[in-house]
């Protein structure tokens, strides 16, 4: 099984060891063939970098299964929407909110920042709408309210397709994952 992990802050450039960039995801994908599982746990980060990762996963030539095993918040929630199938651990969360930015300058600069945020929000809604099928106005409202979704609610609203382990099957631990498993 082909697997990659996105488990850190999403950034356009690597500033610290705990950032993940579109280039790193591109590098992880270049040797993958066939269906792909993406384990996702991230607080989010740069929405443009998140958009690039979303596109990389949408363009991937095999079926992409996103498995949210902790948190897919902010830009990471956009990445989650790239999955042909999105599965959430029963204990995981998905969080969506209005985009944010730092702004500096005069009134015209700040007004331009407001306009940019409006366009960024519409771009994010595009991904949520494609996955969930929900109306844009409802998605905009959920974002405005900063909405946290547990696995059941995420499936109910169409952000996810299923809840992991709900069928009673134990999780498959691959060699790649098992090296991170500790016995106490």
Q: Determine the distance from the C-alpha atom of residue 72 to the mean position of all C-alpha atoms in its chain, rounded to a whole number.
A: 5
pLDDT in tens, 53-64: 999 999 999 999
Q: What is the CATH number of domain 2-178?
A: 3.90.226.10
| Rounded Cα gap, residues 109 and 103, in angstroms | 8
Packing angle of the helix pair 107-132, 47-59 (nearest 10 deg): 30
pLDDT in tens, 91-127: 999 999 999 999 899 999 999 999 999 999 999 999 9
CA count, 13 A, side-chain hemisphere, 106 = 1
């Amino acid at each position: 099984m082909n697997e990659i992990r996105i488990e850190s802050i999403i950034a356009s450039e690597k500033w610290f060891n705990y950032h993940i960039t579109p280039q790193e995801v591109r590098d992880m994908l270049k040797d993958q063939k066939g269906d792909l599982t993406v384990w996702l746990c991230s607080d989010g980060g740069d929405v443009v970098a998140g958009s690039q990762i979303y596109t990389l996963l949408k363009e991937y030539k095999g079926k992409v299964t996103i498995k949210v095993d902790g948190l897919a918040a902010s830009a990471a929630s956009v990445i989650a929407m790239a999955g042909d199938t999105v599965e959430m651990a029963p204990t995981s969360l998905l969080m969506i909110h209005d985009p944010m930015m730092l702004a500096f300058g005069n009134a015209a600069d700040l007004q331009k920042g407001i306009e940019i945020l409006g366009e960024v929000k519409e771009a994010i809604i595009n991904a949520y709408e494609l996955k969930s099928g929900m109306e844009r106005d409802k998605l905009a409202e959920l974002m405005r309210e900063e909405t946290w979704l547990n696995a059941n609610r995420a499936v109910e609203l169409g952000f996810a397709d299923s809840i992991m382990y709900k069928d009673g099957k134990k999780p498959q631990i691959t060699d790649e994952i098992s090296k991170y498993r500790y016995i106490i």
